[in-house]
Structure 1
């Protein structure tokens, strides 16, 4: 039996400055520890606007929405297109709550722009959004952007003048004409928070929670996310009983989703595997293609499960979320497909609630080591490896929660395409330092 364990963690440093702050934000899994960002409180209302457009980066939008809603923020997802549904990058479809004209007269405590191209350019070109963010800046309320959006939108609007900011590396030169650039993963200067890319979005979002609600709420949100304490460091997995994961042309992967699915987990899995050039089928376990995820993000599947089960897959992988996992466990078609996958020794996996609520009760963890969401590990019959963030046992891969989703997805990339490909992808996303 071969075993790969986590490398030692580097010490965590926390830096705070009164007006401008660049912080490797801590991610602390227990209530005995505190998330600290040196924040300034906004109003208690926590009213937030997240605009979306065709071509936005779905991870940056969905993670931000999810985490802010976990903190109790009233988040409006507004489309700058003529319709509510947008076609995000990597073939993902997100449905907004409103159109941007409906939000023009609303006062927000925070406006946060996701990146992605051409999505950030579409945000920049939206006159209503520009006027709304300009008013936000003039009236001294928080605004934020990540990835391409600090340079493409905020910088172009002149809203970073005299400020320090960061963005995706390939946009830093453009940003330098409108702001003083810094290479922090997340940077705050006054009322503006900027960040670098998909791999920094969770840190960025927790920082926004801190600004709106304070350190205690940020700490409360941190724990259940199961975030990494060592942002930017290399990632790894525990692997037992190694076997080669094979495919013919490109990996055929099924990702089921259902009402109550954890949207961050689903989005990261789908996005990252498609970045790696796997063919990912997103199938709805329900009556409609559109699902309402656990934090009320509306996602649209590619096809119903009834159609998806007619195919064969190199991997079936289940996101978590309590309601979604229960829907998976109650789907005879999906459970039978998973059983066939196990019997034919083809890879399958699950994250968060799904190992405990789907795989375990249906005998799909028999003879296997696995992990799950910390509060549900007591449901696993074998908990000997449950403290690990990602566990691979032969053809089974499991993981813990939203904050382990990138590691989980990158471990799948590593199993199919090799370590070099997985690390390159992690660096491109800024999950690992370039």
Structure 2
């Protein structure tokens, strides 16, 4: 069974009977439940614990960060208890494109644990490291033998699952350049997401959100998948050429290499932050990730731990061709409260230099500080009522002169590609769109 998108039609195509009713339980996880010393409270806690679906996402140096972060974020939105485990000898992982993540634990510490789903991100050399990790191979094979879900994306279906013999006689998909290798060990198909029994595979960064919501459905049922997909603002036509709406067109200039500042804070939306950083670094822009506060490590909205390059205090000393904010309610509120960041944004706008934001940030940061005056903008649907001018809110990516805004996690790759297009031209944007399978 396969799916080409996770738009409304997708949910009509795939029917999965949920194993249990999670409607009342998905807001809870065992870690958030206090255990009281009495029989009744223990019984309730134990019931919730056994009902929570457990997911393992292994990561390594060279893992594709957007794939990993989307998988973590979306499954946690669904109420799954997601464990991010480093297969390295440290929890800190240097993912692709210089993005740094911190895992929850080491894989070596949880090899005896049982999971309802193990899902592997791609990326190189991360995919090779996962393939060569014997404890992970043993866990995945036992998962398969026991009839539990395994999933992989990008290079991982061919490199890991194929090498381990899990795909014999099965249909599977992967990143295009690995299709020949996949064909040697499976029936290779070009679906964006492919389900064959208890194995789910997908193609790359641009298909990760569809892949992840598919797995929410497999674990928690169709109703939960629809509930999770709505706030993501997913693409209605994945795979089609991305589009942007532009008003008052001006050129975005730079000397040498675009210098781009991406602030992050506790509560920032990790999918949006990583999409922006990932795509712009693929374009060879110089991206500086700056943390608000006193620590380089930031705990994002779905508890993904990201590590910035510098603190905002240091980043403030330099000038930038673009300052662009991810969303996330907590992160946007932190941005709006930062006098230093707001002053940087105001100077950027006064100098007619590009600035942008996605999701909650246009409404919570730009609007109250006068940064949308005379401009058309969009934002996360639930936040658009806070915009003074709501005439163009329906656009997924909107450029008005030196301002660029967008709607949410599901528009973040398009948003990043639009920034690439403004600096490098449409051809470069389309080239990266093809490479990331947007």
TM category, shorter: over 0.9
Cα distance in structure 1, aligned partners of 2:278 and 2:19: 33
Q: Is 1:59–2:36 an aligned residue pair? A: no
Where do 1:259-338 residues align within 5 Å? 259-338=266-345
* Residue 367 (structure 1) aligned with residue 358 (structure 2): no
Partners of 1:368 and 1:211 in 2: CA distance: 43
Q: Which moved more, 1:41-50 or 1:351-360?
A: 41-50
Render the CA deviation track for 1:237-281: whole Å, top value 9, x for unaligned: 110000000000011000000000000000000000000111000
Match of 1:22 in 2: 2
Counterpart check, 1:415 vs 2:422 = yes
- Partner secondary structure for residue 303 of structure 2: coil
Q: 1:353-380 deviations in whole A, cap 9, x for unaligned?
A: 0000000000000000000000000100
Contact map agreement 1:325 1:357 (CA 8 A) in 2: yes
C-alpha deviation, 1:25, in angstroms? 2.3
Correspondences of 1:185-200 after superposition (within 5 Å): 185-200=192-207
1:395 equivalent in structure 2: 402
The TM-score, its normalising length taken from structure 1, stands at 0.92
Match in the other structure for 1:234: 241
TM-score (norm 2): 0.92
Aligned-partner Cα distance in 2 for 1:386–1:26: 22
Query: Which residue matches 1:109?
Result: 116
Structure-2 separation of matches of 1:35 and 1:321: 30
* Residues in 1 aligned to 2:399 and 2:325: alpha-carbon distance in whole angstroms: 15
1:39 aligns with 2:39: no
Structure 2 CA distance for aligned equivalents of residues 35 and 307 of structure 1: 51
Q: Are 2:70 and 2:208, in contact at CA under 8 Å, matched by a contact in 1?
A: yes
Counterpart CA distance in 1 for 2:317 and 2:52 is: 48
Structure 1 residue 214: Cα displacement = 0.6
1:255 to 243, 252, 262: 262
CA contact (8 A) 2:6 2:213 kept: no
Tell me the distance in 1 between the aligned counterparts of 2:16 and 2:236.
20
CA contact (8 A) 1:259 1:291 kept: yes
Q: Provide the C-alpha distance between the structure 1 equivalents of 2:182 and 2:19, rounded to a whole number of angstroms.
A: 27
Q: Count residues with an aligned counterpart.
A: 408
* Offset, 1:37: 2.3
Q: Which has the higher helix share?
A: 2
Instruction: Extract unaligned runs of 5+ from structure 2.
Output: 21-50
Do the aligned partners of 1:27 and 1:223 also contact (CA within 8 Å) in 2? no
Instruction: Give the gaps of 5 or more residues in structure 1.
Output: 1-20
Q: Do the aligned residues in 2 keep the contact of 1:259 with 1:323 (CA within 8 Å)?
A: yes
Aligned to 1:160: 167
CA distance in 1, matches of 2:244, 2:125: 34
SS in 2 for 1:63: helix
Which structure 2 residues correspond to residues 327-366 of structure 1 after superposition, within 5 A?
327-366=334-373
State the distance in 2 between where 1:239 and 1:310 align. Answer: 31
Distance 1:35-1:249 versus aligned 2 partners, 3 A rule: farther
Residue from 77, 99, 107 that aligns with 1:100: 107
CA distance in 1, matches of 2:315, 2:77: 32
What root-mean-square deviation, in Å, do the aligned CA atoms of Structure 1 and Structure 2 show?
1.2
Q: For 2:88, which of 81, 100, 110 is the aligned residue?
A: 81
Q: Which of 178, 182, 191 lines up with 1:175 in the alignment?
A: 182
Contact 2:52 2:79 in 1 (8 A): no
Question: Matched residues in 1 for 2:327 and 2:3: separation?
Answer: 30
